[in-house]
Each structure stands twice: as structure tokens, then as C-alpha cells.
């Protein structure tokens, strides 16, 4: 890059002045300009493209954006990449490099995005601007319900997505976990019945155990839980709250069908049940089209509470989320939040407000969506190819960063888990996703943070563990 900077090519000059005020994502603009440089002969067959970090610095963006631009070139057959060597214009053999070694232990038990996807440069620039403009005022106490401009931006975004916001209010929390905890504290008394899907998010089960609530479970599968079963249960047992993950359910990856959403929302409305939809990834399209939660498909339902987090979309350490709820319930949540921690970080709320209002979130989603879509489709394909012939059953997902698998008949879960450790792969045992033994013969595989080669190796190790779970 040093030589290119002394006598810069026209494509490098243009990459330094990408448009940031339009609808075309930066990675698309970058890929199109590089493609034109290849077509016009500025970049020759076999020539190594500038390093991703150098291009990111030149364009004022992140290495992730450059990676997505390179991926677009590869998809068009214009470039090839070699691990440890770089990305080259297609047409001549690029230098070969040994692939990265498969780790001795592969963690399929961690639900986290890869750090390389974090929009760190965008966050850094916004932080600097906030400190320059507001100084110490950015760290002052704010409203318990959330930073006013952020709440306005979030409400506008929800309206654009089709949410009904009349007679509802939005409260900002330090992540979805805090929202769930305070919702239970303000809305559920000891002895109240709470309905959950089976399997479900283990963190919610731990919260419910502390509240003293009586937990009822309904099995979920492709298309969501059975409305008939829910209707039968509600006829005989009063339920206070139904906790759900209707989009890219954790851990199965299933989405409720629109028909089931409407049926279940109507049942909750008729029986006075608060329907809580926990949504971490619903803004992404994993290849089956954009999915919508009950709050959008059944806007007239007055008992729905929508909870969303930015942990998997931006970065886990951001610890910001929000809840859209009927106004009286939202007011109860604000009071509970005042008693719990006064407020979520005003500084990070300012950062998030600008990330959304300045279009950075939209551009970031345009980068991570194809990445996660490819990762999901590759992971599902390799799991079906490797595990299903060995007797494992995979719940058909529509997306998400995990797969839900059932063990082959006759294999003891504890023995299989020990065999996995011997084989060098970590899993999330199914027993943690329910309060009974119904899910003990299943397990979750988290792949959202793994390169495809590593997940493929993990599946091979799982197959070996299943073939000989009792080996010493």
C-alpha cells in the first residue's frame, strides 16, 4: 500500500471518498469500484488486492466492510482468497497458504458473535464526537425510561417496521435480561402461572425459579407451539404471562407461522395473558424472507410486550435493549427500573442513538446479514450431511446462530456429553432448556462465532462421540 499511496491509482482515490449518505452500503460501493478496476485493467489477473486493514483505513471503514466487499467479488468469480496470503484478482493461481489449524477443543457451547463483526471504528468515532460536543454532560443522570432522543429514534424505527405504538410506551434497559427480570418482578407474583415454550432460554428459567412462579411448558417445533394445546391449557389453568421467542427461537431457530401467531395472540387476548416476545435477531433475513413478530402480524392485540436486545446485532458488551409495552405496564417497568439501578448508561444510549439515526445500524445490518445467512446455511447443510446419517435428528430451523439436535436412540445424554469432551467439542446439554427431563436427550450447537471449517470439524467429532459414547 505504501507505493500505492505515493502514486495512487484512480480506484484507490475513489475508495477514499465513498458515499455515506445514500442507500447503497459501503461494502457494495467498494466491491463495485474494485470490480470496475478489474474490468478496466487497473488490477491485473493474479494481482494481490490491498490488505483489508489498509483498505479499511483508506476508506474510513472497518475490516469487516472490506471482507464483505471481497466476499462479493469472490461470489462474482472476480477474486480468490487464500488464508494467510490475501485476496487476489481471479485469472492466475494465487500463492497457496496452509489453512488455519483446527483447534484442539471447539466450543459449540458459546452463543456470541465473532469480535471481527463488531463495528468498533464506527463506535469509536461516535464516542469521540459525543465527548467533544457534550463533555461530562454525556455521563449525567438521565430519565429512568431511557434517553429521550434514543427512545424517539427507536419508536420511529418500530413504526417503520409495522409496529402499532398507540397507547404503548418504550423503556430502555441494560439488555434484554434486565427487561425480563424487571417484567417478572413487576408483573408476576409467587404462585402465578407462567407459560414458556419447551425448550426455552435457560436464563428465563433461572429468573422464573427466583420469582416463585409456577411454570407451565408447551412443546414448540417447526411453525411454533400448537395453539390447540395452548387453548386446552388456558381453559383449565389461569396463566399470567406467556414468554416466547417467536422469531429465530433459542435454541431451535424456528419461527412461528403467521397463522399460529394470530391464533396464539387471540388466545392470550381472550384469556388475559400477557404475551411476551423476546426478539434478538428478528431484523435479519436468513434466506426465508423477513419474519415478523406477533406485535406486527396482530397489531390489534393489546396484551403483547416486545423485548429487543442489541447484543447479537452490534456487540455483547453494549448491554442495551428495550421493551415496547402497554402504557400501564411500561410505567410499572419504569418504577421497577428506578428501584433496580436508576438508569442504563446514558453515554452508551447516546452512542446507540447516533448509530441508528445516522444510518450506521442499517449499513451494519447490510454487512452482517449476508454473513450470518451464509454461516447458517453452511452450518445446517454440514450438520444434516454429517449428523443425520448417524441417527441424530435436527429440528428444522429458519435461521439463527444455533441448531437443536436430538441424540440417536439408545445413547445416554451424560455419556454422550463425556464423549464430546473426550473428542474435543463443547455442546449445550438439552437438560438446561426445560425444568423437566423432556429435553434431556437433545442438545444445542452454537455456531455463530465459528468459521465453517471449524464447525464442520465439530460435527465430525460429534458423530464420533455418538458412535462410541462409552469409550474410555
In tens, the pLDDT along 2-53 reads 333 434 567 877 787 788 776 778 888 888 888 888 888 888 888 888 888 8
pLDDT(94) > 60: no
In terms of average pLDDT, the best of 67-81, 174-188, 254-268 is 254-268
> Residue 275 CB: number of other CB atoms within 10 A?
25
CA distance to 15, 82, 183, per residue, from 189 (Å): 58, 58, 11
- The average confidence (pLDDT) of the chain is 89
Cβ atoms 32, 77 nearer than 8 A: no
Structural domains of the chain, with CATH: 2-89 (1.10.10.10), 106-114+365-467 (3.90.1150.10), 120-361 (3.40.640.10)
In this predicted structure, what is the pLDDT of residue 8? 53
Q: Taking a C-beta distance cutoff of 8 angstroms, is the pair 283, 365 a contact?
A: yes
pLDDT digits (tens, 9 = 90+) for 342-379: 667 788 899 999 999 999 998 889 888 999 999 999 99
Residue 137: what pLDDT? 83
83 confidence band (pLDDT: 50, 70, 90) = low
Looking at residue 373, its pLDDT comes to 94
Amino acid 4: pLDDT: 38
Q: What is the pLDDT of residue 5?
A: 40
Nearest-5° angle of CA 202, CA 372, CA 417? 40
pTM: 0.79
Nearest partner of 178 among 155, 203, 200, judged by Cα: 203
Partners of 215 in beta bridges: 194
- The winner for highest mean pLDDT among 99-108, 119-128, 294-303, 321-330 is 321-330
Q: Categorize the per-residue pLDDT at 62 as very low, low, confident or very high, splitting at 50, 70 and 90.
A: confident
Amino acid at each position: 500500500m505504501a507505493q500505492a499511496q505515493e502514486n495512487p491509482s484512480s480506484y484507490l482515490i475513489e475508495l477514499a471518498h465513498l458515499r455515506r449518505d445514500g442507500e447503497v452500503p459501503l461494502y457494495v460501493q467498494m466491491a463495485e469500484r474494485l470490480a470496475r478496476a478489474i474490468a478496466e485493467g487497473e488490477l491485473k489477473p493474479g494481482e494481490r488486492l490491498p490488505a483489508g486493514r489498509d483498505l479499511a483505513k483508506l476508506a474510513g471503514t472497518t475490516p469487516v466492510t472490506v471482507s464483505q466487499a471481497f466476499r462479493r467479488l469472490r461470489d462474482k468469480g472476480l477474486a480468490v482468497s487464500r488464508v494467510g496470503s490475501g485476496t487476489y484478482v481471479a485469472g492466475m493461481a494465487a500463492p497457496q497458504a496452509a489453512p488455519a489449524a483446527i483447534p484442539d477443543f471447539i466450543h459449540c457451547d458459546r452463543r456470541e458473535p465473532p469480535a471481527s463483526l463488531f463495528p468498533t471504528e464506527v463506535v469509536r468515532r461516535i464516542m469521540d464526537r459525543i465527548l467533544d460536543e457534550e463533555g461530562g454532560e454525556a455521563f449525567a443522570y438521565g430519565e429512568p425510561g431511557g434517553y429521550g432522543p434514543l427512545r424517539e429514534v427507536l419508536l420511529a424505527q418500530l413504526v417503520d417496521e409495522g409496529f402499532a405504538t398507540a397507547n404503548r410506551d418504550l423503556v430502555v434497559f441494560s439488555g434484554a435480561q434486565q427487561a425480563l427480570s424487571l417484567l417478572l418482578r413487576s408483573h408476576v407474583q409467587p404462585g402465578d402461572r407462567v407459560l414458556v415454550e419447551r425448550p426455552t432460554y435457560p436464563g428465563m428459567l433461572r429468573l422464573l425459579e427466583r420469582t416463585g412462579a409456577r411454570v407451565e411448558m408447551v412443546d414448540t417445533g417447526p411453525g411454533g407451539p400448537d395453539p390447540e394445546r395452548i387453548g386446552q391449557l388456558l381453559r383449565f389453568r389461569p396463566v399470567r404471562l406467556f414468554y416466547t421467542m417467536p422469531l429465530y427461537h433459542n435454541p431451535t431457530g424456528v419461527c412461528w407461522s403467521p397463522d399460529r401467531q394470530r391464533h396464539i395472540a387471540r388466545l392470550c387476548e381472550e384469556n388475559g395473558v400477557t404475551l411476551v416476545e423476546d426478539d434478538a435477531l428478528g431484523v435479519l433475513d436468513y434466506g426465508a424472507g423477513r419474519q415478523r413478530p406477533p406485535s406486527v402480524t396482530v397489531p390489534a392485540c393489546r396484551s403483547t410486550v416486545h423485548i429487543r436486545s442489541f447484543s447479537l446485532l452490534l456487540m455483547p458488551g453494549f448491554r442495551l435493549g428495550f421493551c415496547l409495552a402497554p402504557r400501564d405496564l411500561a410505567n410499572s417497568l419504569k418504577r421497577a427500573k428506578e428501584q433496580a439501578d436508576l438508569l442504563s448508561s446514558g453515554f452508551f444510549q447516546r452512542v446507540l442513538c447516533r448509530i441508528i439515526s445516522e444510518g450506521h445500524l442499517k449499513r451494519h445490518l447490510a454487512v452482517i446479514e449476508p454473513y450470518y445467512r451464509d454461516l447458517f446455511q453452511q452450518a445446517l447443510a454440514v450438520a444434516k450431511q454429517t449428523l443425520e446419517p448417524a441417527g441424530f435428528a435436527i429440528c428444522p430451523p429458519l435461521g439463527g446462530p444455533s441448531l437443536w439436535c436430538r441424540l440417536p436412540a439408545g445413547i445416554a445424554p451424560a455419556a454422550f456429553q463425556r464423549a464430546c469432551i473426550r473428542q474435543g467439542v463443547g455442546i449445550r446439554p438439552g437438560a438446561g432448556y426445560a425444568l423437566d427431563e423432556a429435553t434431556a436427550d437433545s442438545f444445542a450447537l452454537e455456531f455463530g462465532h465459528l468459521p465453517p471449517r471449524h464447525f464442520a470439524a465439530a460435527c465430525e467429532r460429534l458423530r464420533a462421540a455418538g458412535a462410541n459414547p462409552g469409550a474410555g
